[in-house]
Amino acid sequence: MENEDPFANALTQLASITDILSVDPEYYEMLKSPIREITVSLPLKLSNGNAVTFTGYRVQHNNARGPYKGGIRYHPGVTLSEVKALSMWMTWKSALIDIPFGGAKGGVSVDPKKLTMDELERLTRKYIDALEEEIGPEVDIPAPDLNTNPQTMAWIMNEYSRLKGHNVPAVVTGKPIELGGSEGRNAATGRGVAICVREAVQAFLKKDMKSVTVAVQGFGNVGSNTVKTLMEMGAKLVAISDVVGGAKAKSPSGTFEQSYERLIDESNKAGSISKISGVEEISNEEVLESDVDVLVPAALENQIIEANANKIKARLIVEAANGPTTPMADKILGRMEVNVIPDILANSGGVLVSYFEWVQNLNRDHWTEEIVNDRLESKMKKAFYDVLAYSQKNNVDVRRAALVLAVGRVVSAMKLSGWH
Ligand code: NAD
């Protein structure tokens, strides 16, 4: 029976490289467990007078290479196990893209769509009040993730600054530009994903971007910015989905011919990309199983699992979401010779530009979008080709190659600082 527990899957991935990378047992034990797991109770009086208590988490996995770093997720399915897995993946991601951060993650088990803006603001402030001693610009720096956005980050910055009695922009990244956010941060994760698609298409499919067909699952921050950049690169978008359902392009060319701006506008008005005009409504499963060159899962964990892995027709999967493929599905995809660019590489553009934002805040500086995008492009390409070279030289799949490089760097930092 397939295990869909995210932390169990993160541990299976870690175990999968021990035959290539020899890690001393005491270091391996330290990597298996996050350094700190915090659970907080968040009582909230709703505007209708009812009181509800939500549960929030912050898990700090490892800080050998620098302050803890990782997003905050608002979702009814948030569990401690999920946050632990995401915190471990953040440690690997920061190491792989080679920035001086460790890994952490936070989450609140809540359906934000059922709360008003005022309730969401008060919940966010309560969460930060509860974590005041655990976060900070040199300690642990949150960022956006599922269902959180620049507005949420603005509340976090304001609440933390209020508690400290002075303005502390570097405590959180992904802020609005007006409050010290970085140019290019909002689009960074999707942009980085698209760069990985472009390089992987060249390396594995030997195709030109203009002839490549793509399906994207998820049309939020990461999915939509991936779509935008892929369209700019000339790729053919064939299917897109969100939580409501999937949309297959119905134009004569079989691809979305609307501009990106129109896709966003229409899906906002219709409530879902699946409800816009000129598309065929399909299921989320059908989007994943689309007959395309490239599949980009950009929604949640555990989307490509044992039950559907052998129905995937794409020859290349680029993981924009964290943990979208289970280890069992990974094995099946390997046998089918589907190339998978793993999450810790593909979506690392987000934490990379978060690092740029933190550097700008600490220096009271503001870089142009051009500088940010140039630095994003060169760091993403370096990480991509370092992983590819390791994979080809040692004949291991790309996921394990990425993990070996990342875990190796973390262990090296732990050893040099004498961590036991
Ligand atoms: P978001 O809340 O902005 O968007 C999520 C999207 O997924 C929405 O379109 C939603 O409708 C859709 N969705 C939710 N459940 C779905 C389902 N069952 N089937 C299909 N679509 C579904 O979140 P986001 O920030 O875009 O994050 C998406 C993924 O990317 C997550 O796994 C997140 O951890 C990862 N990620 C995000 C960032 C970032 O900078 N925001 C960075 C790295 C990784």
**Residue having the nearest C-alpha atom to atom 8 of ligand 1:** 220
Q: Evaluate whether residue 76 is within a structural domain.
A: yes
Total structural domains within the chain: 2
Span from the CA of 295 to the centroid of ligand 1 (angstroms): 15
Residue 323 alpha carbon, nearest atom of ligand 1: 32
Judge if pTM exceeds 0.75.
yes
Catalytic residue among 105, 126, 228, 248: 105
**Residue having the nearest C-alpha atom to atom 41 of ligand 1:** 145
| pLDDT above 80 (res 1) | no
Same domain (yes/no): 160, 195: no
Span from the CA of 332 to the centroid of ligand 1 (angstroms): 24
| pLDDT above 90 (res 410) | yes
Same domain (yes/no): 144, 233: no
Same domain (yes/no): 163, 193: no
**Residue having the nearest C-alpha atom to atom 42 of ligand 1:** 350
Q: Evaluate whether residue 163 is within a structural domain.
A: yes
Q: Evaluate whether residue 395 is within a structural domain.
A: no
Rounded Cα–Cα distance for residues 136 and 112 (Å)? 25
Task: Please state the rounded mean pLDDT for residues 76-101.
Answer: 98
pLDDT, residue 131, reads 98
Span from the CA of 402 to the centroid of ligand 1 (angstroms): 22
Span from the CA of 260 to the centroid of ligand 1 (angstroms): 18
Task: Please state the rounded mean pLDDT for residues 245-254.
Answer: 94
Question: Is 105 labeled as catalytic in the residue annotation?
Answer: yes
**Residue having the nearest C-alpha atom to atom 32 of ligand 1:** 321
What CATH number does the domain containing 203 carry? 3.40.50.720
Q: Evaluate whether residue 150 is within a structural domain.
A: yes
pLDDT, residue 420, reads 78
Same domain (yes/no): 53, 142: yes
Q: Which two tokens stand for residue 64?
A: 């050998």
**Residue having the nearest C-alpha atom to atom 29 of ligand 1:** 321
The percent of residues in the chain predicted with pLDDT above 70, rounded, is 100
Residues with a CB atom less than 6 Å from ligand 1 = 144-147, 189, 217-223, 241-243, 284, 298-300, 320-322, 347, 350
Q: Final residue of a domain: which of 143, 170, 197?
A: 170
- What digits encode the pLDDT tens for the residues 159-216? 999 999 999 999 999 999 999 999 999 999 999 999 999 999 999 999 999 999 999 9
Same domain (yes/no): 86, 165: yes
In the 3-class helix/strand/coil scheme, how is the chain assigned residue by residue? CCCCCHHHHHHHHHHCCCCCCCCCHHHHHHHHCCCEEEEEEEEEECCCCCEEEEEEEEEEEECCCCCEEEEEEEECCCCHHHHHHHHHHHHHHHHHCCCCCCEEEEEEECCHHHCCHHHHHHHHHHHHHHHCCCCECCCEEEEECCCCCHHHHHHHHHHHHHHHCCCCHHHCCCCCHHHCCCCCHHHHHHHHHHHHHHHHHHHHHCCCHHHCEEEEECCCHHHHHHHHHHHHHCCEEEEEECCCCEEEECCCCCCCCCCHHHHHHHHHHHCCHHHCCCEEEECHHHHHCCCCCEEEECCCCCCECHHHHCCCCCCEEECCCCCCECHHHHHHHHHCCCEEECHHHHCCHHHHHHHHHHHHHHCCCCCCHHHHHHHHHHHHHHHHHHHHHHHHHHCCCHHHHHHHHHHHHHHHHHHHCCCC
Span from the CA of 220 to the centroid of ligand 1 (angstroms): 6
Task: Please state the rounded mean pLDDT for residues 85-106.
Answer: 98
Q: Which two tokens stand for residue 177?
A: 């530009």
Same domain (yes/no): 128, 230: no
- Residues β-bridged to residue 161: none
pLDDT, residue 2, reads 81
The structure tokens 């299917």 sit at 239
Rounded Cα–Cα distance for residues 169 and 357 (Å)? 9
Span from the CA of 413 to the centroid of ligand 1 (angstroms): 31
Q: Final residue of a domain: which of 346, 381, 398?
A: 346
- What digits encode the pLDDT tens for the residues 320-348? 999 999 999 999 999 999 999 999 999 99
Span from the CA of 321 to the centroid of ligand 1 (angstroms): 6
Mean pLDDT score of the chain? 97
pLDDT, residue 300, reads 94
Residue 240 pLDDT level (bands cut at 50, 70, 90): very high
Residue 222 alpha carbon, nearest atom of ligand 1: 26
Q: Evaluate whether residue 256 is within a structural domain.
A: yes
Rounded Cα–Cα distance for residues 309 and 64 (Å)? 36
Same domain (yes/no): 115, 165: yes
pLDDT, residue 380, reads 98
Same domain (yes/no): 239, 103: no
**Residue having the nearest C-alpha atom to atom 4 of ligand 1:** 220
**Residue having the nearest C-alpha atom to atom 19 of ligand 1:** 243
Which residue range(s) make up the domain with 254? 187-346
Q: Evaluate whether residue 281 is within a structural domain.
A: yes
Residue 219 alpha carbon, nearest atom of ligand 1: 9
Span from the CA of 134 to the centroid of ligand 1 (angstroms): 26
Rounded Cα–Cα distance for residues 128 and 134 (Å)? 9
Q: Evaluate whether residue 209 is within a structural domain.
A: yes
Cβ neighbours of 19 (radius 10 Å):
9
- What digits encode the pLDDT tens for the residues 219-232? 999 999 999 999 99
In the chain, what is the straight-line distance between the N-terminal and C-terminal CA atoms, in Å? 37
The structure tokens 């996995």 sit at 61
Contacts for 135 with CB less than 8 Å, ≥ 6 apart: 58, 128, 141, 142, 160, 171
For a substitution probing ligand 1, which of 111, 146, 351 has the most ligand atoms within 8 Å of its CB?
146
What CATH number does the domain containing 46 carry? 3.40.50.10860
Residue 5: name the closest of 310, 326, 319, 300 by CA: 326
Q: Which long-range contacts (CB under 8 A, 24 or more apart) does 250-253 make?
A: 250/278, 250/279, 250/280, 251/278
Residue 351 alpha carbon, nearest atom of ligand 1: 42
**Residue having the nearest C-alpha atom to atom 5 of ligand 1:** 220
Same domain (yes/no): 203, 320: yes
For a substitution probing ligand 1, which of 145, 173, 296, 308 has the most ligand atoms within 8 Å of its CB?
145
For a substitution probing ligand 1, which of 74, 78, 87, 243 has the most ligand atoms within 8 Å of its CB?
243
Q: Final residue of a domain: which of 346, 374, 399?
A: 346
Same domain (yes/no): 131, 75: yes
pLDDT, residue 309, reads 98
Task: Please state the rounded mean pLDDT for residues 27-49.
Answer: 97
Same domain (yes/no): 228, 339: yes
Q: Evaluate whether residue 415 is within a structural domain.
A: no
Task: Please state the rounded mean pLDDT for residues 15-30.
Answer: 93
Same domain (yes/no): 195, 323: yes
